[in-house]
Amino acid sequence: MSIFRFFLSSPQKTTAEHAKERLQIVLAHERADRSSPDYLPLLQKELLSVIAKYVQIDEKKVEVKLDRGGDCSMLEVNIELPSPDARRKAAAKAANS
Amino acid sequence: MAKIIVMTSGKGGVGKTTSSAAFGTGLALRGFKTIVIDFDVGLRNLDLIMGCERRVVFDFINVINGEANLNQALIKDKRVDNLYILPTSQTRDKDALTKAGVEKVLDELRRDFDYIICDSPAGIEKGALMALYFADCAIVVTNPEVSSVRDSDRILGVLASRSRRAELSLDPVEEHLLLTRYDPDRVEKGEMLRVDDVLDILAIPLLGVIPESQAVLRASNVGMPVVLDEKSNAGQAYLDAVARFLGEPVEHRFVKPEKKGILQRWLGRTA
């Protein structure tokens, strides 16, 4: 058996090769983070204030994500709008208070 | 006008101080007036490595605070002409370093010296930032080991964004890689990253490869920069690196396993 394995299987990776591979992966991420914009928190706040002018929204139901692909990045903003029902209730509450 | 070199790494224990002492001594041996400054406030060690610990009276922080003048704090090396040491304080902390204070001292040194070597502390906090802020040139000391390579990459990012040259949009800090504690035998066995692997990852020019060597500990035991041990391979490797730094084309040595004689192999000796 072992003689077959010797001929058939690809050679085992050395620990140094593992080290290089792990470094390349972790550094690719860290370098991307380093150059990543620091404006996300502020952007989120300003977007919210604009949207809040028109729709009542719950600040906790907002998600801002930045996905990095090979040659493009995608900024994803997810805002959960309240159902019409909830909106009416909120409006009534505001009117009463 | 002096060139300011920072010896930096991010990670501790990779050989910044050893390299600062060796490189500074190497430059002085070439006839350049050189000073090595210890930026590791509170954890002073350059004085021990350079063998002048009993001659420290005033230090870098005293000069910054105006408690002593520069000439009182500078220590002239007794073995090598043109070589000076500016030790740091052992009792203060890194907050004693201010940008204005450091700049004032460096400006004064710049007039007199050819090279100013800033021996950075580990980390990326104040001491390390102060050591690299004014640099024209950075020597990034790295061991062929994952955590050291990662931290070197981080420090390269800091150099590119938080140095004076970066802040003022001047020419970027010149970067050099000094790979230390390299063990060609382990590399051959696939147990250690190769020079080329590290170069692939960090992508900066290679200044030198310093082999793992028992001479380094022996030299530090007696407070002698390892380049003064001319027979040691580490000492020679540092001198080669200095020559390359000065623009001389010198081939890299000590990157392949030494051929051992039969007797040596039997005795299992390592040089």
How far is it, in rounded angstroms, from Cα B270 to Cα B256? 14
In angstroms, what separates the C-alpha of B201 from chain A's closest C-alpha? 7
Which member of B149, B190, B201 has the closest CB to residue A14? B190
CA pair distance B139, B148, nearest whole angstrom: 14
Q: Per-residue pLDDT for B255 more than 80?
A: yes
- Predicted confidence (pLDDT) at residue B243 exceeds the cutoff of 60: yes
Beta strands in B49-168 (DSSP E): 75-76, 83-86, 115-119, 137-142
Percent of the residues in chain B that have a pLDDT greater than 90, as a whole number: 92
In tens, the pLDDT along A27-65 reads 988 887 776 667 777 877 888 888 888 888 777 777 777
Residue B191: closest C-alpha in chain A:
A16
Question: Across the interface, do B157 and A31 touch by the CB < 8 Å criterion?
Answer: yes
Task: Please give the Cα distance from A14 to B97 (Å, whole number).
Answer: 45
CA–CA distance, B59 with B67 (Å, rounded to integer): 9
Give pTM, 2 decimals.
Answer: 0.81
Calculate mean pLDDT across residues B154-173: 96
Q: Which of B192, B200, B201 lies nearest to residue A16, judging by beta carbons?
A: B192
Q: In the structure, what pLDDT confidence band is assigned to residue B118 with cuts at 50, 70 and 90?
A: very high
In the sheet that B3-8 helps form, which strands lie side by side, from edge to edge? B75-76, B83-86, B34-38, B115-119, B3-8, B137-142, B174-182, B206-211
Q: Contacts for B247-253 with beta carbons within 8 Å, 24 or more apart?
A: B252/B195, B252/B206, B252/B208, B252/B209
Per-residue pLDDT of B35-74, as tens digits, reads: 999 999 999 999 999 999 999 999 999 999 999 999 999 9
pLDDT averaged over every residue in chain B: 94
ipTM: 0.84
- CB under 8 Å to B225, separation ≥6 — which residues? B21, B22, B24, B25, B49, B50, B219
Query: How far off is chain B from A14, nearest CA to CA, in Å?
Result: 5
What pLDDT is recorded for position B133? 97
